[in-house]
Structure formats: C-alpha cells, structure tokens
Amino acid sequence: MSTDISGLDTSIDNGLLRLTFNRPTRLNAVTAESLNAVADALESKADDPSVAAAVLTGTGRAFCTGADLGSADTSRPPSATTIDAANRAVAAIRAFPRPVVGAVNGPAAGVGVSLALACDLTVATESSYFQLAFTTVGLMPDGGATALVAASIGRARALRMALLADRLPASAALATGLIADVFPDTEFADAVEALTRRLASGPVNAYRWTKDAVNDATLTELDNTFARERKGQLDLLASADFEEGLAAFLEKRAAVFGGVA
C-alpha cells in the first residue's frame, strides 16, 4: 500500500482499487489535497484494464466527517479551492468506468455524505450515520449533495436532512433508500470484501453501461448542481453566520446565528 501525505492511501489488489481516507485523528476530515488525491487516483486508473472495481472507505472509526475546518480563516476572502476539489472528486467517482463501492465504516458528515453517495453501491455499518451538517456552521451542502441526496430519497427528505442537519442512522438511511445495505459492525469488513470481489469478477462492460445509464437518468442536474452550490457556498463563506458557526465549532459550543434581521 502507498501512503501519501494527502491523507489518502491507495492500492490495487487483485483487480480492486482501494482508496482509504487515513486521517483517523481528524476523523478523516478532508482537505483540498485529499479530495484531489481521490480524483487523481480514479482518473489515473480509469483506462487500466487490470482494475475491475474500486472501493472508498476510511481508517479508524469514521468514514469521512467533511471538510477540515481546523485551518479555516474567515479573515481572508473566501476560496473555492476545497469546493472545487470536492466537486472534482465526486465527478471522478461518477465518471469512473467501473463500479465504486462506498464502504461507510463510521460517521459520514458534510462532504463525506457527498462522497459516499456518489459511489454506485453505498453500504454502511449499523453504527454509522449520515449527516449533512453544513447548516450547523452557517453553510449549505456542497459536493453535489443537493442532487445526490434528493435523487436517492426525494425532495422532502433531502430538505429535512439539509436544513435541520440531523443525524440519519444507517438503518434509517437504508429504509429511506439513501444507501444500498447495512451490515453489523463485526461483519462489515467481510461483507465489503465479498461484495467488492463479486464486482471485480463480474461483467465489467455490462456494469459500466448499467452504471452510466442509471446515473444519466437520475443525476441529470449534477453539473449544474456543482455550479449552484459553488456560488452559494462562496457567498456563505463570507457571511457573519459562517464566522460565528466556525468559531462555535472550534470552541465546541452551540452557534448563535443572526436569524431575522
């Protein structure tokens, strides 16, 4: 296995491309570098005939808890660097011509939800949850989340997740159609291994055409979604609510937003 300073481990094992977020002390919070590393890995192997499937997962007790806000600086003009990297990673998962399994081994929050749902088969441990936590810091969902979630569970449930930022347990995520399956934590690794091996030994061309057909039918607005979210997020990153939300996050307290002027 190769370990990069990006916080993403990559390897190829018997036809399976493994991508593993490896910042366990940060609960696999991602940076622009790690998001671009996901895209780089998928794009570089897109035409590799030795790769039949891919899996995206995390090290430790989290899948991915969103963008790393620890280094955010509200004194500087908003930057689209991380937004663009997230969009690129999600687009690369969507475009990869092989099935991509999202193996959600723990909490998926923020853009971690986007990355998980961009995968073709998303499975989770029973103890996992999904949380569009953006509004808790005065932001909006990005990484294509507003399209990916709505395509899976419909407008009403998507708005509930996005506006209220409540945690959705894995069992509820399965029941609503957000993800494909849930496994007991103790059986998860074996279940993911069996699933990925089944895909890696299957009819790769049929999988490619099927993946493209389903995604083209259900994610017709993904590119426009990236643009809308980018515009909105840049506006919000410059807002007083985000300044307060970030301060509250770093100080581990509840944010006090402006509300009605």
- pLDDT tens digits, residue range 43-92? 999 999 999 999 999 999 999 999 999 877 667 778 999 999 999 999 99
pLDDT digits (tens, 9 = 90+) for 155-165: 999 999 999 99
Q: In whole angstroms, give the CA distance from residue 192 to residue 101.
A: 8
Q: In whole angstroms, give the CA distance from residue 251 to residue 97.
A: 43
- In-domain check, residue 247: no
Q: Which of 2, 24, 98, 26 is nearest to 55 (CA)?
A: 98
Confidence band (pLDDT; 50, 70, 90) for 230? very high
- In-domain check, residue 148: yes
**pLDDT on residue 4:** 54
**pLDDT on residue 5:** 55
- In-domain check, residue 95: yes
**pLDDT on residue 261:** 45
Q: How many residues does the chain have?
A: 261
Residue 163: count other Cβ atoms within 10 Å of its Cβ: 13
| Residue-range definition of the domain harbouring residue 94 | 2-187+198-218
CATH code where residue 78 lies: 3.90.226.10
**pLDDT on residue 113:** 99
- In-domain check, residue 166: yes
- In-domain check, residue 41: yes
* Residue 175 clears pLDDT 80, i.e. is over it: yes
User: Which position has the token pair 């971690």?
Assistant: 112
Question: What's the domain count of the chain?
Answer: 1
Residue 216: count other Cβ atoms within 10 Å of its Cβ: 11
Task: Name residue 8's beta-bridge partners.
Answer: 21
- In-domain check, residue 252: no
**pLDDT on residue 239:** 95
- In-domain check, residue 246: no
Residue 5, Cβ density class (10 Å: 0-12 exposed, 13-18 middle, ≥19 buried): exposed
**pLDDT on residue 76:** 78
**Mean pLDDT of the region 116-125:** 99
**Mean pLDDT of the region 137-149:** 98
**pLDDT on residue 260:** 60
Q: In whole angstroms, give the CA distance from residue 106 to residue 110.
A: 13
Confidence band (pLDDT; 50, 70, 90) for 18? very high
Half-sphere exposure of 23 (CA within 13 A, CB side): 19
**pLDDT on residue 107:** 99
* Residue 144 clears pLDDT 90, i.e. is over it: yes
Over pLDDT 90: what percentage of the chain?
93
- In-domain check, residue 212: yes
* Residue 2 clears pLDDT 60, i.e. is over it: no
Q: Which of 237, 259, 233, 258 is nearest to 246 (CA)?
A: 237
pLDDT digits (tens, 9 = 90+) for 178-214: 999 999 999 999 999 999 999 999 999 999 999 999 9
Confidence band (pLDDT; 50, 70, 90) for 30? very high
Q: In whole angstroms, give the CA distance from residue 144 to residue 149.
A: 9
Beta strands in the chain (DSSP E): 2-3, 8-13, 16-21, 53-58, 100-104, 108-109, 121-125, 129-131, 168-169, 181-183
**pTM for this predicted structure:** 0.96
